[in-house]
A and B are shown apart, each in its own frame.
Chain A
């Protein structure tokens, strides 16, 4: 007799723990070919607000960690992600309708993407900061600092490579993040949460809410304790008005990373393209310090 497999319960990842949605709701996740895969938690407004609280609580410690330390932690994420390769290949293949071979390529790219950002942590200030030669006897230096809690609408189509491509740059500089996963393909996000939970990433640095994007995006965009929002995931999300979200974000002047737009419609970027610095630059503040020179 063949053995019956033990299936995973897919839950949220908030403050380093894996709660179900406080709303008690779930929704059926289907494969690209329409088969039932699992029931995912359907995150609510309250789950998003809990996630923001956890992200805010984690911000001080994560921002104060040395860039070297953050780099080591991110590299550890890549190591553990690589170790879970088989599981991600299965989930990506099922959710995105890829062959196992193509899905393996996506997972490899996701691991390498984390490594790319692991290498950035202690170089961001060296590339984005500088000494300013002011016309006077002053030492004057500008350097980037993390902006705070960043809300991210993860891409809808690319459920793993796209996800790590939007989360890693946010936390590399010391921000903490509340990410709303792909609505239709949330399973790799939950598994990524399990990777993060076992990779020395402090609880609360990354919080993952599986949800219907249209339902929770407004609450995230309007939240007064969120400092910035990445609208990448509006592309392909049903019933989401990204201009409306940007307008909500203006309430506390959140920094907004707009979606890529083609022919007037938001589109999902090509995640296989080499990333630049944009996603790091979008979520840092520049601080300039003056000090006199003299006897």
Chain B
């Protein structure tokens, strides 16, 4: 069969300027770099920049700046004026969208078409949506009649590396809309878009201290969430760290929302539109190289269409283009870090050792950087590690079921409960399934849909709290009487 190759279509890096070193963004200004470590381009392991490791004293400074802003200018601002700052930020993100897309792809390794068409526009949309809420909070049903919902104060936000800018937007937009101030720590492997966002805050003339950004590894995150003058914590990341945070704040006045791991079931019934389902399955697990907490990583396919679905999946996987994330034709880019690549490799090897059959399309992976081919594991049993543990990579575990009840039992047989997918032409069955599935988001005949108006978050060990929509505002306000400052008094 003749094949057609794609000509390279590289996006230009010239739209973005990366400084050799970065400090923190505290109180409206950048600090001098200190104790720096490298952030790499995972596609070729080149060093993009050196960023600073925040220690306890830096955390103190950032939290103090946020406290001053909360008790000063920002705390006195009307909702309408807060909203206008958020509208400004949304517009600047739209204006500088290409710059953010390129920077995000360089630092994260995901394809430029995803950062360009999804991450950055959705981040801007989040700010736009929450800008509108800032002066309408009394309509959001957040407090009992006659009482007023108030901001918590200083919010500590720790975000992951899989959607660096988008997670920043999910965190900062509702926090500011409700009147809080924030100290945000991006992931150690993807700090650059957050540091560029600091410039956006400057361009928007956001008052100093309202948004503070500190970089560092897990130690910085720990110091931040354990800081006594932090009122609320918003964390997105692993279930393991989420549990650590929940333990750390036990017995304090601190509030937390935790958006953690997932092991979503994507349930395909025999009456599903199979070609459409195959597209949804592929998008569900290979979007962002599968490094998505709500990825459809467990395919539950009705037994009588298993062979057809798997054959079509294999055919479709052969057309996926894996390679240079900066190439506009790439469907899959690089894995974000060596550590993550090792984890994927270990888990898939364990799956094969336990009896799963592994298949990947023929594809040539770049020699430098962190790469993993799109992978199908068939013959997976519920007890296999690849069916129970979050792989967070481009790996789909395929299981089967015979009846809807069995599909529900298997889908819910997980410690997680973030998301689920259902594929069937029958509307009543979709709604029946949605009722049975213990998951915070259920997609029917689609997958991986996100919108600022739509709440997102999990059941069970996928964490608690919701982000987005009217419900997402709840986490950022309190209706208890005001205390002077801080949380732990």
User: CB within 8 Å of B: which residues of A?
Assistant: 67-68, 71-72, 75, 112, 115-116, 118-123, 126-127, 137, 139, 277, 291-295
| Min C-beta distance of A117 to chain B, whole Å | 9
Interface residues of B in 402-449 (CB under 8 A from A): 404, 427-429, 431-432, 435
Q: Which residues of B contact A292 (CB under 8 A)?
A: 427-428, 431
A75 vs B124: C-alpha distance in the bound complex, in angstroms?
Answer: 14
Interface residues of B in 350-404 (CB under 8 A from A): 404
Q: Which residues of A contact B428 (CB under 8 A)?
A: 291-295
Q: Which residues of B contact A291 (CB under 8 A)?
A: 427-428, 431
Q: List 6 A–B pairs whose Cβ atoms lie within 8 Å, in order of A's numbering.
A: A72-B128, A116-B135, A119-B131, A291-B428, A292-B427, A295-B429
User: Does B139 interact with chain A (Cβ within 8 Å)?
Assistant: yes
Most A-side CB within 10 Å, residue of B80, B134, B140: B80
A119 to B469, Cβ gap below 8 A? no
User: Does B143 interact with chain A (Cβ within 8 Å)?
Assistant: no
Measured CB to CB, the nearest residue on chain A to B86 is A119
Q: Which residues of A contact B75 (CB under 8 A)?
A: none
A126 vs B468: C-alpha distance in the bound complex, in angstroms?
Answer: 12
A118 vs B134: C-alpha distance in the bound complex, in angstroms?
Answer: 12
A115 to B87, Cβ gap below 8 A? yes
B136 to A112, Cβ gap below 8 A? no
User: Does B325 interact with chain A (Cβ within 8 Å)?
Assistant: no
A291 vs B131: C-alpha distance in the bound complex, in angstroms?
Answer: 34
Apart from A123-B453, A294-B429: 15 A-B pairs, beta carbons within 8 A: A71-B132, A72-B128, A75-B87, A115-B80, A119-B83, A119-B134, A122-B129, A123-B132, A123-B139, A126-B453, A127-B140, A293-B432, A293-B435, A294-B432, A295-B428
Once A291-B427, A293-B432, A295-B432 are accepted as A-B contacts, the answer to whether A123 and B125 lie under 8 Å apart by CB is no
Once A292-B428, A293-B432 are accepted as A-B contacts, the answer to whether A119 and B132 lie under 8 Å apart by CB is yes
User: CB within 8 Å of A: which residues of B?
Assistant: 80, 83-84, 87, 125, 128-129, 131-136, 139-140, 404, 427-429, 431-432, 435, 452-453, 469-470
Measured CB to CB, the nearest residue on chain A to B131 is A119
Going nearest first, the 4 A-B pairs with the smallest beta carbon separation are A119-B132, A293-B431, A292-B428, A294-B428
A295 vs B84: C-alpha distance in the bound complex, in angstroms?
Answer: 48
A68 vs B262: C-alpha distance in the bound complex, in angstroms?
Answer: 29
Measured CB to CB, the nearest residue on chain B to A277 is B139
A123 to B128, Cβ gap below 8 A? no
| Min C-beta distance of A295 to chain B, whole Å | 6
Most B-side CB within 10 Å, residue of A72, A137, A291, A293: A293
Q: CB < 8 Å: which of A68, A127, A277, A293 contacts B128?
A: A68
Q: Which residues of B contact A75 (CB under 8 A)?
A: 87, 128
B431 to A119, Cβ gap below 8 A? no
Most A-side CB within 10 Å, residue of B131, B428, B429, B435: B428
A277 vs B138: C-alpha distance in the bound complex, in angstroms?
Answer: 11
A120 vs B452: C-alpha distance in the bound complex, in angstroms?
Answer: 14
A68 to B125, Cβ gap below 8 A? yes
B132 to A122, Cβ gap below 8 A? yes
| Min C-beta distance of B240 to chain A, whole Å | 34
A118 vs B136: C-alpha distance in the bound complex, in angstroms?
Answer: 12
A119 to B133, Cβ gap below 8 A? yes
A184 vs B470: C-alpha distance in the bound complex, in angstroms?
Answer: 43
| Min C-beta distance of A113 to chain B, whole Å | 10
| Min C-beta distance of B274 to chain A, whole Å | 20
B129 to A112, Cβ gap below 8 A? no
Once A68-B125, A116-B135, A277-B139 are accepted as A-B contacts, the answer to whether A122 and B429 lie under 8 Å apart by CB is no
A120 vs B136: C-alpha distance in the bound complex, in angstroms?
Answer: 8
B132 to A120, Cβ gap below 8 A? yes
| Min C-beta distance of A85 to chain B, whole Å | 15
A71 vs B91: C-alpha distance in the bound complex, in angstroms?
Answer: 13
A121 vs B133: C-alpha distance in the bound complex, in angstroms?
Answer: 11
Measured CB to CB, the nearest residue on chain A to B140 is A127
| Min C-beta distance of A266 to chain B, whole Å | 28
Q: Which residues of B contact A137 (CB under 8 A)?
A: 432
A126 to B469, Cβ gap below 8 A? yes
Q: Which residues of A contact B129 (CB under 8 A)?
A: 68, 122
Q: Which residues of A contact B431 (CB under 8 A)?
A: 139, 291-294
Q: CB < 8 Å: which of B134, B139, B429 contacts A127?
A: B139
A127 vs B138: C-alpha distance in the bound complex, in angstroms?
Answer: 11
| Min C-beta distance of A247 to chain B, whole Å | 34
Q: Which residues of A contact B125 (CB under 8 A)?
A: 68
A118 vs B470: C-alpha distance in the bound complex, in angstroms?
Answer: 17
Q: Which residues of A contact B135 (CB under 8 A)?
A: 116, 119
A292 vs B429: C-alpha distance in the bound complex, in angstroms?
Answer: 9
Q: CB < 8 Å: which of A71, A112, A123, A293 contacts B80?
A: A112
A115 vs B83: C-alpha distance in the bound complex, in angstroms?
Answer: 9
A72 vs B136: C-alpha distance in the bound complex, in angstroms?
Answer: 17
Q: Which residues of A contact B131 (CB under 8 A)?
A: 119
Measured CB to CB, the nearest residue on chain A to B94 is A72
A48 vs B231: C-alpha distance in the bound complex, in angstroms?
Answer: 58
| Min C-beta distance of A78 to chain B, whole Å | 9
Q: Which residues of B contact A127 (CB under 8 A)?
A: 139-140, 470
Q: Which residues of A contact B140 (CB under 8 A)?
A: 127
